[in-house]
A and B are shown apart, each in its own frame.
Chain A
């Protein structure tokens, strides 16, 4: 089975711009979670989507948003980029997002905001 894929792998943006990141889960997985990883804050949960609905949300400003399509693919968007948004953005998929389920991570998108 193919793993979780994320595109693009690298991005360079400037402050004020917006960016859209894409995540394709493992085939058959319907839950997609997004995380931000920075050296200072570590891995932090952004949000989770299941059946095209946001089911959980972390403590991030409204500039961070996402959506999920009927094929379970997910996108996240960051508007009005700030320097502090520079990070590795990871998505993870699981079958249904149940607590015992393993989340499998994609390779990540590394975003640099200048």
Chain B
């Protein structure tokens, strides 16, 4: 079992729709959860971080964390073509903060 797993994708949604990206993790000691966006040929950039159960909203983005189910998700509302990228879920544990474990990424395509 991979430590961090994401929907394999690609995920295609029409412009204006909600895109839902999912991630599960295996280490119950995981404490910090991050969503990075990576455009083709570029480096990852942080979209959201979440540390406690529940929802965290930032503009069009909402991260949801359920530690009991070892599940973290990212919702993108009013999806735009500029949101087309690969979304990476990353996890770190308390005693290994400098080490991020990444999922394989989900490629999102937003069609005009």
Contacts and interface: CB of A to CB of B under 8 A. Distances in A.
Contacts of A98: 97
A100 B51 contact: yes
Contact of A48 (B36, B94, B99): B99
Interface residues of B, number: 27
Give the most central of B45, B100, B101, B103: most A CB within 10 Å.
Answer: B100
B44 A50 contact: no
B98 A56 contact: yes
Contact of A102 (B49, B88, B103, B105): B49
Contacts of B28: none
A43 B88 contact: yes
Interface string B79-90: 000000000101
A31 B96 CA distance: 12
Nearest to A99: B97
A107 B99 contact: no
B54 to A, nearest CB: 16
Contacts of A99: 31-32, 92-97
A100 B97 contact: yes
A45 interface: yes
A19 to B, nearest CB: 19
B25 interface: no
Interface of B: 31-32, 34, 36, 42-46, 49, 51, 88, 90, 92-105
The 9 closest A-B pairs by CB, nearest first: A97-B98, A48-B98, A99-B97, A43-B102, A105-B43, A98-B97, A56-B99, A99-B32, A42-B104
5 contacts: A31-B97, A48-B99, A56-B96, A99-B93, A99-B96
Given A99-B93, A100-B32, A102-B49, 13 more contacts: A33-B98, A33-B99, A35-B100, A42-B104, A43-B88, A50-B98, A55-B98, A94-B98, A98-B97, A99-B32, A101-B97, A103-B98, A105-B36
